Structure formats: structure tokens, C-alpha cells
Amino acid sequence: MKPKSHLFYQTRSRRPVLAEARGVYMWDVDGKRYLDGSSGAMVSNIGHSNPRVLEAMRRQMEKSTFGYRLHFETEPGERLAAKVAALSPEGMEKVFFVSGGSEAVESAIKLARQYAVTVGQGSRWKVISRNPSYHGSTLGALALTGYAPLADPFLPMMQAMPKIPAPRAYLDGLDMDDQATGAHYAAMLEARIIEEGPETVLAFIQEPVGGASTGALVPPAGYMQAVREICDRHGVLLIHDEVMSGGGRTGKFMAAEHWGVDPDIIAISKGFGAGYAPLGAMIAHDRLIDPVLDAGGFQHGHTYAGNPLACAAGLAVLEEIESGELMGNAARIGALLKARLANLMQRYGFIGDVRGEGLLLAFELVADRQTMQPLPKELNAYVELVELAYEQGLIIYSRRTRGGIDGDHFLVCPPMIVTEGQVDEIIDMLSAALDKFA
């Protein structure tokens, strides 16, 4: 009989016990090796056990591991904030540290609301988001999340926010060029703002390159720019949830840089702490922060936020990304991996789409590539293929969600240090899993 375990996660299913992890590889206690093909949950962007980060954390631990933010400023916190501000759009120079993605999103919507109240726009409170989307598991962030199975049980406990469709043109079967597609989906935002009453709409939040909810959805041409213009036209703040897409994985520090669009507020986490420490940040434009601070301060905060150990880790992660030119590697190897995944479409007719930017990549399984009809739910593909890959020693990340419609997509997002040889390994193990699945 197995010893009773007191640990519990989301379900009863259990996983191997992790023994150690180095670079892109992880080993369980039985000595089996896994290639971390999803960087955990798109977190371990610089790989595991990076010596620079371990050393920076060790040095910081010897100095101090905690200084409460209302009692002390810390040097790692100040240095990390300066570095993040330098990597953020012009004018976005204020950085508010948190310990994860949900906290970063909560901070973003609460800052937006407090700003509106402070400048006499208290009628604005609705935050429009997209369907599907994922913005976090705390009740505020969940109210924005466009995924009914996660949100519905909690609806009586929160104020659900208005949703518009994410630009999933590949599913909607639109007969339009990319530019017209971008305009088509952006127009839905404007229509919704008008329907809700612009004077009630506080903000629009989107993932510039989609994460787990859409499977690395890349916006169509002109969409990002049109969204910015629509928000400006109606006095609506634009929030970019870069929790997964930020931090360099797409080849730029913020994914929105690919389209040259600056939001008013940004949420980052995941690859920012890169698995070394719970770390996230909300970055906002000075014109939002200054009135709030002048009026007495931001009515929000978390106890562990900005602790020096997490900040020292985050700083070393950014130094590693810069010195190793890892964003360039993410762009270069990402293009190679995407092409190799697209090649698999010739061999496996049930791969319906391959998409993404840099090393934020996904493929989707379908019953019919023409109609994009999903595989039958009973096949449980999003679980089965992950298990088959696991057997091969490859970790990938999956979801069965397309918003209203079901569908199986898989994120292939190895750390930004991945080599061409390791791309071969990923494709070999994935092909072996797909052979068994077919």
C-alpha cells in the first residue's frame, strides 16, 4: 500500500516525484529524464539551476531574505525596478512588485479603478476581456477570465465582466485577409464599449500573444493598433496581461513590442522570476500612478511583495537573459521549432493548426482540418497525448478550451536556452507520442 499523502493539487491524479532539474532537463526520483518542453507552465525561461541566479540568491540570503515593504526599501528591489522600467515602454517607469500572475492582474485592475475614482471618473468600473482568455485564479482576475468551467462555479461570488471574442480567425472560418480580420475583431471591442456605455467602461485587458487559454494565439494584422485607438477614443485604459508572453519568450521583452503598441498598464510574472522565486510585477504609466500617490496612495498590497530574495533572483534572471542573448535565441530557435512543428502537419492529418511567436508556440488537434471540427471529447486528447509524451520523456502543456467550443491544444515552449539539437529531441519524442496517439 502506498503511504498516505497529505499533499493535494487540483485533482486526484499524481505525478512522479521530482529529484533534480538542470538546464532544459528534469529527473524524477526513479532516475527518469524529462525534457521540459513547456518550461513548466511557461515559467522556467532560462532553464533550471542557472548558476548565476543560484549565486545571486545565495549572496542575498546571507544578507537578508525579507524586509517588509512598509519598513524598508531594498537594494535588489530598487535595482530590479530600474531594469524593468528600462525594458518597458516610454513613460511606464513605475513598477509594483507582487508574487505571481493573478496578483499582478489584480493590481492592474485595482490601480485602474483607483485612478478613475481619483480623477473623477468613478462611473467607470467595467473591465472588458476576451473569450477565451486566462487572467488568473483569484476572484478579481477570474472575473476577467473567459473560460466558463473555471469561472462559472464562482459567479455568485464575483462581478463577471463583459467579454468579446478573441480573434480566433482560424476557427471562425472568416473569408477575409489578415488586415480585414484584424479590423473585424477590433470592431467588436468598440461595439461592446458602446453597448455597455463608454462612461461605465474602465479598461480592456488582453494577452498580446495568447497563453494557455487560446494556445499561443497571435493577433491578426492591425488588431493591436486598432484596439489601442478604440481605447483612446473612449477613454478606456488598455491593460496588457503579459504574465506568460512577457519576459522575453516571444523574442521581445514584452510581446506587444512586435506590434509597436504601448498599453497603459502591464502585468508580468512567470518568466520574470523564471521559477527561481515567486515574482511578478505591475508596471503602469506615470500619468496613472502620480494622481493616485498624490491622493494618498494605492490602496492595495501583498505581504511578500518585493521581498529582496525574489528581487535578487529576478535581477539575475534579467542579467542572464541579456548576457546570453536569450531573446535572440528565442526568436531564432522559435522559428526553427515552429517550422518543424508545421512539418508534422504533413504526417499527421489531425494537427489542425500550428501558431505562436518565438518560443511561445502551440499546435491544435482537430477531427477535420477544413472545418476545424474538434476531436471527440471522449478521446480525451488533451490528456492522452500529454501522457504519451510523458512516457517518451517530453513534457508539454495542454488545454481543452476554445471558449464556447471545445478543442485540444498543446503548448510547446521549452526554455529560451534550448539548442537546435534539443529541438530535434523534442520533435523525435513528440512524433513518437503522435504515432501512438494516431
Give dist(CA 204, CA 192) in Å, integer.
Answer: 11
Give dist(CA 185, CA 223) in Å, integer.
Answer: 7
> Cα-flanking dihedrals φ and ψ of residue 187, to 5°?
-60, -30
> Cα-flanking dihedrals φ and ψ of residue 183, to 5°?
-65, -40
Minimum distance, C-beta of residue 281 to ligand PLP, in the bound complex (Å): 12
Minimum distance, C-beta of residue 344 to ligand PLP, in the bound complex (Å): 25
Which one, 50 or 107, has the nearer CB to ligand PLP? Answer: 107
Burial of 22 (0-12, 13-18, 19+ CB in 10 A): exposed
How many chain residues touch ligand PLP (CB under 6 A)? Answer: 16
Which one, 60 or 269, has the nearer CB to ligand PLP? Answer: 269
Q: Which residues contact 428 (CB under 8 A, 6 or more apart)?
A: none
The stretch near ligand PLP (CB under 6 A) out of 30-38, 113-121, 133-141, 353-361 is 133-141
271 makes contact with ligand PLP (CB under 6 A)? no
* Residue 261 C-beta-side C-alpha neighbours within 13 Å: 28
> Cα-flanking dihedrals φ and ψ of residue 260, to 5°?
65, 30
Minimum distance, C-beta of residue 133 to ligand PLP, in the bound complex (Å): 8
434 makes contact with ligand PLP (CB under 6 A)? no
Give dist(CA 136, CA 117) in Å, integer.
Answer: 24
275 and 38 Cβ atoms separated by less than 8 Å: no
Residue from 36, 106, 190, 207 touching ligand PLP (CB under 6 A): that is: 207
The stretch near ligand PLP (CB under 6 A) out of 57-65, 239-247, 339-347, 384-392 is 239-247
243 makes contact with ligand PLP (CB under 6 A)? yes
The stretch near ligand PLP (CB under 6 A) out of 87-95, 238-246, 298-306, 408-416 is 238-246
339 and 412 Cβ atoms separated by less than 8 Å: no
Q: What residues pair up with 96 in beta bridges, in sequence order?
A: 282
Place of cell 471558449: 403
Minimum distance, C-beta of residue 71 to ligand PLP, in the bound complex (Å): 26
Residue from 37, 89, 136, 407 touching ligand PLP (CB under 6 A): that is: 136
Minimum distance, C-beta of residue 216 to ligand PLP, in the bound complex (Å): 11
Residue from 25, 134, 276, 397 touching ligand PLP (CB under 6 A): that is: 134
* Residue 3 C-beta-side C-alpha neighbours within 13 Å: 3
Residue from 74, 269, 307, 422 touching ligand PLP (CB under 6 A): that is: 269
> Could you say which residues in the range 76-115 bind ligand PLP, by CB under 6 A?
100-102, 105
Which one, 192 or 240, has the nearer CB to ligand PLP? Answer: 240
Which one, 41 or 180, has the nearer CB to ligand PLP? Answer: 41
The stretch near ligand PLP (CB under 6 A) out of 175-183, 240-248, 318-326, 363-371 is 240-248
> Cα-flanking dihedrals φ and ψ of residue 213, to 5°?
-70, -40
Q: Which has the closest alpha carbon to 142: 399, 213, 164, 150? A: 150
Which one, 408 or 425, has the nearer CB to ligand PLP? Answer: 408
Does residue 241 sit in helix, strand or coil?
strand
135 makes contact with ligand PLP (CB under 6 A)? yes
Q: Which three cell numbers stand for residue 250?
A: 516571444
Which one, 38 or 422, has the nearer CB to ligand PLP? Answer: 38
Minimum distance, C-beta of residue 378 to ligand PLP, in the bound complex (Å): 27
206 and 174 Cβ atoms separated by less than 8 Å: no
Minimum distance, C-beta of residue 143 to ligand PLP, in the bound complex (Å): 13
CB atoms within 10 A of CB 125: 17
Minimum distance, C-beta of residue 135 to ligand PLP, in the bound complex (Å): 5
Residue closest to ligand PLP, measured at CB: 101
The stretch near ligand PLP (CB under 6 A) out of 206-214, 301-309, 318-326, 370-378 is 206-214
> Cα-flanking dihedrals φ and ψ of residue 361, to 5°?
-125, 150
- CA dist 307 → 25, 51, 80, 98, 221 (Å): 29, 21, 11, 9, 40
Minimum distance, C-beta of residue 307 to ligand PLP, in the bound complex (Å): 16
Give dist(CA 222, CA 189) in Å, integer.
Answer: 14
241 makes contact with ligand PLP (CB under 6 A)? yes
Q: Which three cell numbers stand for residue 200?
A: 461605465
Which one, 47 or 136, has the nearer CB to ligand PLP? Answer: 136
What does the binding site for ligand PLP look like in residue numbers (CB under 6 A)?
41, 100-102, 105, 134-137, 207, 211-212, 241, 243-244, 269
